[in-house]
Structure 1
């Protein structure tokens, strides 16, 4: 980040809250949250993208914090975080995660994956009536749960969107056609 360029952070473990705290710290040093999603070779990593914030107030805050916290690189000597700002970043990151894939894309990945998991007992124990019954029941359960998962994601997106709109964020469509929320100018 010291170079002042775009930064993409990949984490194999962690949480949305942890990414939000990391983004909040970066904002104290002249960066702004840009995007989040799943990445890595198999999509198993949490990705956070930060970009330099060119606004005058962001650069002034960064200079002030660099002077007040010269050892910030140790991960301990950091400026205090404002809980409301972290919560808003968490809502933005969560919304972006929930918006990364369309419902059709989720089903296109989920149905074959659920089928493979359901067939696993037959592969492991051979194709006989008990294994086939277990496989059939697992597959049916997965297919019944799929619409519930899509509804849950839709509800979460609506909740995060309402929270962000109430905080003054503006809905925009990015170059990939995905709905995002950005701070008001």
Structure 2
């Protein structure tokens, strides 16, 4: 991820309003880096979602005194961060925690039933082309092969969520369910009622 996305986000943060940010590829690691830099300059990570084909994070102004002090210090130390100046050193451990948090949230957007339905619908759509072009035998075989992947994908998603949940628990994060019923992890100092 280039610094261009970081600088664009920092300029938008200058308004003091919540900001949605994404990288060119929208990878969770790139989004985690954006969240890290937002935290260095007075914002905090508030969630991740999919917008079209890209993943996007939402960052909001942080109100706790420690975050404000860190932001003030970093704006003084890195006055050109939003343009072409230097940026703070990237903390890979902090980025790994953000990456786990973003990955967990994106992996739990849908329940397993919803994932099963979406995958079945999508794989059926993919099998229509071969069925129309080559007939029922080829199309049906292709569909069966795709459907055989469904349990593998569900197990892989469970493992991915469990791996990220374990990392977040080890970092002191608290599991909660948000207003929409989605499981999330809040940082150690966050109020679960937010």
User: TM-score, with normalisation over the residues of structure 2?
Assistant: 0.86
Aligned with 1:145 (options 142, 149, 152): 149
User: Does the 8 Å CA contact 2:104/2:165 hold for their aligned counterparts?
Assistant: yes
Q: 1:75 to 1:89 in 2, by over 3 A?
A: farther
- CA distances 1:61-110 after superposition (whole Å, capped 9, x unpaired): 10011111111113652111111100000000000010111111112221
Q: How do residues 18-29 of structure 1 correspond to structure 2 at under 5 angstroms?
A: 18-29=30-41
Residue segments in structure 2 that go unaligned for 5+ positions in a row: 1-12, 190-194
Q: Name which of structure 1's ranges 87-96 and 68-77 shifts more when overlaid on structure 2.
A: 68-77
1:64 & 1:79 partners in 2: Cα distance? Answer: 11
Instruction: Structure 1 unaligned segments of length 5 or more: list them.
Output: none
Shift of 1:119: 1.3
**For this pair of structures, how many residues does the alignment match?**
177
What TM-score does the superposition give when structure 1 sets the normalisation length? 0.90
Partner of 1:13: 25
Counterpart Cα distance in 1 of 2:50 and 2:85: 28
Give the CA deviation at 1:147.
1.2
- Distance in structure 2 (CA, Å) of the matches to 1:96 and 1:183: 14
2:64 paired with 1:60: no
The alignment's C-alpha RMSD in Å is 1.4
Q: 1:165 aligns with which of 156, 165, 169?
A: 169
